[in-house]
């Protein structure tokens, strides 16, 4: 075969060999990141990878000409540059909290648990009667700032005469961070009890949504906290304990996940450092308290666009092309590491069903038609809590039931206020405990 034909094949072979070497070094680096739990912002893994690669390149080039000895270093240099990008922060490593909202004052309360949380108060407005029992809202997440969309819904409830309080749970939004080892579902429940005590207005009504509904459900099973609660609205709860997290049942009617246009805006996961950190944490290969990306840096880096299809999953498929903007870029806040830590403590917890069966706090369960939650996560609460007095199956809405679309906010507020005032429900009480088997079969 003529040299002119052989030469391109040799060149292609060398390029492929160099590419394989780069990929192999990157794989070794990632393996060492996992093995060292990201120690030293990843520099421990980087130093070991580069040192080993340099030694190997020196050994490979020992019998080559002067310039030929440099060839094995090319993939080492490329891999070193690529992996170094995982080790260098591109956002501040100390927490930068969101600026104050223009329409509500942000207070900060130090709770008896040691948590220091951001607090928002919407005094009762409107021309109707004032309700003497304060209403506390627990947002979803967990460890996520309260969205502007949720703030608007709380303003609506205040317009119905309710004295509305809400707080961003420890580590979320404008609340102070905790040491990673202190985040747990138990701490979240204790914080709720401490917050109601700090209010100093006796027992409180509590509306818990999504992860906030999990905190509320577990509070109902804790007599020391439940005694502080007047009524409980459990809206679209996630799994309440370890056994429930292992349920892999059906979900509601189709959501907008996979249908809605992709979220726009900057993504931290388009940067190698945060793509690696958040990806490995989500896979369980890095601990939430890893040495690669600290909690504060991770909070600063994470953006709304990083949620991807999670936001669309909160809406019905029919609303896929009109999903509202839930939050502003400046207000959005989510702690991925702390969230994973709390979720893990839920997974590791024993069943709370025996304690929940002794609950006496009047409660209502809200279930969305297009729920992205596993149905059994919701019906398990109904089955195990004898104090659930009514269930409201909300047609035409997804997981985020109050979302500013059409009359969804009005309908959600009507259901909540009717229960809190012990008035007839706007919708029929469905499903009841007897309806659970048929509900799981028919409403998916």
pLDDT digits (tens, 9 = 90+) for 308-362: 889 999 999 999 999 999 999 999 999 999 999 999 999 999 999 999 999 999 9
Residue 54 shares a structural domain with residue 145: no
Residue 91 lies in a domain: no
Q: Coil, helix or strand for 14?
A: helix
Q: Which residues lie across from 122 on neighbouring strands?
A: 164
Residue 364 lies in a domain: yes
Domain containing residue 118: CATH number: 3.40.50.1820
Residue 61 shares a structural domain with residue 138: no
Task: State the residue range of the domain holding 35.
Answer: 3-84
pLDDT of 13 reads 56
What does pTM read for this prediction?
A: 0.93
Residue 125 shares a structural domain with residue 22: no
Average pLDDT over residues 404-420: 97
Residue 386 shares a structural domain with residue 252: yes
Encode pLDDT of 247-290 as tens digits: 988 899 999 999 999 888 889 989 999 999 999 999 999 999 99
Of the residues 49, 84, 119, which one is the last residue of a structural domain?
Answer: 84
Residue 197 lies in a domain: yes
Residue 119 lies in a domain: yes
Among 22-31, 56-65, 240-249, where is mean pLDDT lowest? 56-65
pLDDT of 192 reads 98
- Residue 334: DSSP 8-state: B
Encode pLDDT of 160-186 as tens digits: 999 999 999 999 999 999 999 999 999
What kind and span of H or E run contains 208?
A: strand 204-209
Q: Which residues of 350-376 are buried (b: 16+ CB within 10 A; e: fewer)?
A: eebbebbeebebbbbbbbbbbbbbbbb
Residue 240 shares a structural domain with residue 296: yes
Higher-confidence position of 421 and 15: 421
Higher-confidence position of 230 and 126: 230
> What percent of the chain is modeled with pLDDT above 90?
84
pLDDT of 123 reads 97
Residue 302 in contact with residue 335, Cβ under 8 Å?
yes
Residue 25 shares a structural domain with residue 68: yes
Encode pLDDT of 5-20 as tens digits: 455 545 455 567 678 8
Of the residues 84, 115, 140, which one is the last residue of a structural domain?
Answer: 84
**Per-residue confidence band for 69, with pLDDT thresholds at 50, 70 and 90:** low
Residue 108 in contact with residue 102, Cβ under 8 Å?
no
pLDDT of 319 reads 96
Encode pLDDT of 284-306 as tens digits: 999 999 999 999 999 999 999 99
Query: Which parts of 33-183 are beta strand (E)?
Result: 107-110, 116-122, 135-138, 164-168
Among 20, 15, 24, which Cα is nearest to 71's? 15
Query: Which parts of 18-163 are beta strand (E)?
Result: 107-110, 116-122, 135-138
Q: Does 1 have pLDDT greater than 80?
A: no
Residue 302 lies in a domain: yes
Q: Coil, helix or strand for 430?
A: strand
- Tokens 């507020």 found at: 413
**Per-residue confidence band for 62, with pLDDT thresholds at 50, 70 and 90:** low
pLDDT of 5 reads 46
Residue 135 shares a structural domain with residue 34: no
> What percent of the chain is modeled with pLDDT above 70?
93
pLDDT of 410 reads 97
Residue 382 lies in a domain: yes
Residue 417 shares a structural domain with residue 279: yes
What kind and span of H or E run contains 30?
A: helix 3-36
Among 383, 369, 343, which Cα is nearest to 251's? 369
Residue 199 lies in a domain: yes
**Token code pair at residue 382:** 């109904």
Residue 431 shares a structural domain with residue 290: yes
Average pLDDT over residues 363-377: 96
Residue 314 shares a structural domain with residue 242: yes
DSSP states of 243-312 as a string? HHHT------S-BSTTTSPPPPS--GGGSHHHHHHHHHHHTTSS-TT-SSS-HHHHHHH--GGGGTHHHH
Average pLDDT over residues 86-94: 96
Q: Does 443 have pLDDT greater than 70?
A: no
Average pLDDT over residues 388-399: 97
Average pLDDT over residues 211-225: 98
pLDDT of 110 reads 98
pLDDT of 128 reads 82
Residue 49 shares a structural domain with residue 115: no
Q: Does 48 have pLDDT greater than 80?
A: yes
Residue 157 shares a structural domain with residue 58: no
Residue 298 in contact with residue 335, Cβ under 8 Å?
yes
Number of folded domains in the chain? 2
């Amino acid at each position: 075969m003529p040299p002119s034909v052989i030469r391109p094949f040799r060149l292609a072979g060398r390029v492929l060999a160099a590419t394989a070497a780069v990929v192999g070094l990157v794989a070794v680096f990632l393996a060492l990141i996992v093995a060292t739990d990201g120690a030293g912002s990843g520099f421990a893994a980087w130093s070991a990878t580069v040192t080993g690669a340099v030694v190997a390149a020196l050994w490979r080039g020992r019998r080559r000409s002067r310039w030929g000895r440099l060839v094995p270093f090319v993939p080492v240099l490329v891999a070193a540059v690529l992996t170094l990008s995982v080790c260098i922060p591109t956002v501040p490593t100390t927490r930068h909290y969101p600026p104050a909202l223009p329409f509500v004052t942000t207070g900060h309360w130090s709770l008896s648990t040691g948590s220091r949380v951001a607090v928002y108060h919407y005094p009762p407005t409107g021309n109707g009667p004032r309700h003497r029992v304060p209403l506390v809202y627990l947002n979803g997440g967990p460890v996520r700032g309260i969205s502007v969309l949720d703030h608007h819904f709380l303003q609506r409830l205040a317009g119905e005469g309710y004295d509305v309080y809400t707080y961003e749970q420890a580590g979320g939004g404008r609340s102070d961070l905790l040491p990673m080892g202190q985040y747990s579902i138990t701490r979240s429940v204790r914080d709720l009890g401490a917050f109601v005590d700090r209010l100093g207005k006796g027992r409180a009504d509590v509306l818990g949504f999504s992860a906030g509904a999990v905190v509320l459900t577990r509070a109902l099973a804790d007599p020391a906290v439940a005694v502080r609660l007047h009524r409980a609205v459990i809206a679209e709860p996630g799994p309440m304990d370890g056994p429930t997290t292992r349920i892999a049942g059906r979900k509601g009617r189709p959501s907008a996940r996979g249908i809605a246009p992709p979220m726009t805006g900057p993504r931290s996961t388009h940067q190698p450092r945060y793509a690696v950190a958040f990806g490995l944490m989500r896979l369980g290969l890095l601990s939430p308290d890893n040495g690669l990306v600290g909690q504060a840096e991770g909070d600063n880096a994470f953006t709304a666009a990083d949620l991807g299809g999670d936001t669309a999953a909160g809406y019905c498929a029919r609303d896929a092309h009109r999903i509202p903007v839930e939050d502003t870029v400046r207000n959005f806040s989510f702690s991925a590491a702390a969230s994973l830590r709390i979720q893990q403590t839920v997974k590791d917890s024993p069943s709370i069903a025996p304690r929940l069966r002794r609950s006496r706090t009047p409660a209502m369960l809200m279930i969305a038609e297009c729920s992205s939650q596993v149905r059994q996560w919701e019906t398990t609460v109904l089955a195990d809590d004898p104090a659930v007095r009514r269930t409201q199956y909300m047609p035409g809405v997804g997981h985020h039931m109050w979302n500013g679309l059409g009359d969804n906010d009005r309908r959600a507020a009507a259901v909540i206020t009717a229960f809190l005032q012990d008035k007839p429900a706007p919708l029929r009480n469905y499903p009841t405990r007897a309806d659970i088997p048929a509900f799981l079969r028919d409403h998916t």
